[in-house]
Every structure is written in C-alpha cells, then in structure tokens.
C-alpha cells in the first residue's frame, strides 16, 4: 500500500488553519497514524487510529478519515508547529508498516 501526502509544502502564517492530506492506494481501515518531525529530532506521534490524539498532544491537532482518505488538521498554527509531518499505515498479508513522503509545514 502506497501513501501519498499532499501538498509537499504548506506555507502559512501563525493562527491560520493547516489541512494536510494523506491518501492510501488501498483501504487501511483506520490503521493510520500521524507524526511530527523537527530538524535533528526523532518523529513524535501526534495521532493514532486515524483520529485519536496521543498523550500530551495539544488539542489544536486533530485527525479524521477512514479507508483511503485521511486528514491532519492544525486548527490554529503556532510557530513551533514548523516541521515535516508524516502519515503511516499498517497493512496485512504480509504485515507491513509504511510511511508517506511527508508534508513540510513552514510558518
């Protein structure tokens, strides 16, 4: 299963709303997670199971979707949200975990 993220780059101002897309080549049910990666750091889990915020993640981050189309929304951008965002899915037969190519958010 291939995950396609769009856009590749998103340039917005503080306080604006960011909408990131992740499309799967086949249905992944709700086995979809989102990560944030800042330069020189490991990725950080934001959202799991398509819409569940991970522990300690601010409420401005939300996930939605199921099947093949998923969205990560940042409701009001903060300067520290500048990062690359990756989606990731789990597929069966064989069990495989794959990542999308990433969306860079520039604030």
E strand spans, the chain: 3-6, 9-11, 18-24, 32-37, 44-48, 52-53, 61-66, 69-74, 83-91, 96-99, 103-106
Q: Of 48, 53, 60, 104, which lies in the binding site for other proteins, with binding defined by CB under 8 A?
A: 48
**Least separation in angstroms between CB 97 and other proteins:** 4
Taking CB under 8 A as the rule, does residue 103 contact other proteins? no
Q: Work out which of 8, 13, 59, 94 binds other proteins, going by CB under 8 A.
A: 94
Of the two residues 13 and 55, which places its CB atom closer to other proteins in the complex? 55
- Under the binding rule (CB under 8 A), the answer on residue 85 touching other proteins is no
């Amino acid at each position: 299963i291939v995950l396609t993220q769009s856009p590749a780059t998103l340039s917005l101002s503080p306080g604006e709303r960011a909408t990131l897309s992740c499309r799967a080549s086949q249905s992944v049910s709700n086995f979809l997670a989102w990560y944030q990666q800042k330069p020189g750091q490991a990725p950080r889990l934001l959202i799991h199971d398509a819409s569940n915020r991970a522990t300690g993640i601010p409420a401005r981050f939300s996930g939605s979707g199921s099947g093949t189309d998923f969205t990560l929304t940042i409701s009001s951008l903060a300067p520290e949200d500048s990062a690359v965002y990756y989606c990731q899915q789990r597929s069966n037969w064989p069990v495989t975990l794959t990542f999308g190519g990433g969306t860079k958010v520039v604030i």
